[in-house]
Copies of this chain bind each other. A is one copy, B any other.
Amino acid sequence: MTDGALRILVTGGTIDKVHDPRVEALVFPRDGATLVPEMLAMGRCHFPLVQIVMLKDSLDFDDADREAIAAAAAAAPEAALVITHGTGTMGATARFLQGRVPGKTVVLTGAMRPHSISASDGSFNLGGAVVAAQVLPEGVYGVMNGRVIPAARLDKNVEAGRFDL
C-alpha cells in the first residue's frame, strides 16, 4: 500500500478513557482529544491518519451512531481502515458495517483496559489492527488480544476478560 494510506477512525471506548480525579472515575478526555496519536508515537508508527468520529461508550451506541461510523468509513479515501471502538458492542458494529463499506478492509479494535493506565492491552491490539488492515482482504474484522476475528463471530468473552476465536 502507499505510504500513509491507512486511516484510523476513532469512536471512543475504553481505549481512550482517562482517570478524572474530581469524579474518581474513567471518562473521555475533557478536551475532546484522543490518545491514539500518542499510542502511534509510542509504537513509532508515523504513517496512519487519525480522524475522530465521536468519543462514546459503545454501550451507548444507537443506529444513528453506527450510520455515522459507516458514513465516515465509506467516505475515507483509504482502502485500509482501523476503527477504535468500545468492547461492549464491537461485534454489533462490525456486523452493521458488513456490506456497507465495499472495497475496503475494515478492522475494529479497542482495549479491555485504557491506554492511559498502565498494563493496557491497547498498544498490543492497535499494533495488530494496523498490520491487519494492511494485509487482510476486503471485509470487516475485529483484531483483539492477538486474534483476527471475522465480524460474524466478534464478541467479548466477558468471563475471560478478552476476545477469543
The chain A residues found within 8 Å of chain B, CB to CB, are 3, 14, 19, 21-22, 24-26, 39-40, 42-48, 112-114, 116-121, 123-132, 134-136, 143, 145-148, 158, 160-162, 165
Contact = CB atoms under 8 A, between A and B. Distances in A.
B145 A43 contact: yes
What number of copies of this chain does the assembly contain? 4
Given A25-B26, A134-B148, A146-B131, A45 B113 contact: no
A104 B21 CA distance: 31
Contact of A131 (B113, B117, B143): B143
A125 B135 CA distance: 15
A58 to B, nearest CB: 11
Contact of A127 (B24, B40, B119, B125): B125
Contacts of A47: 146-147
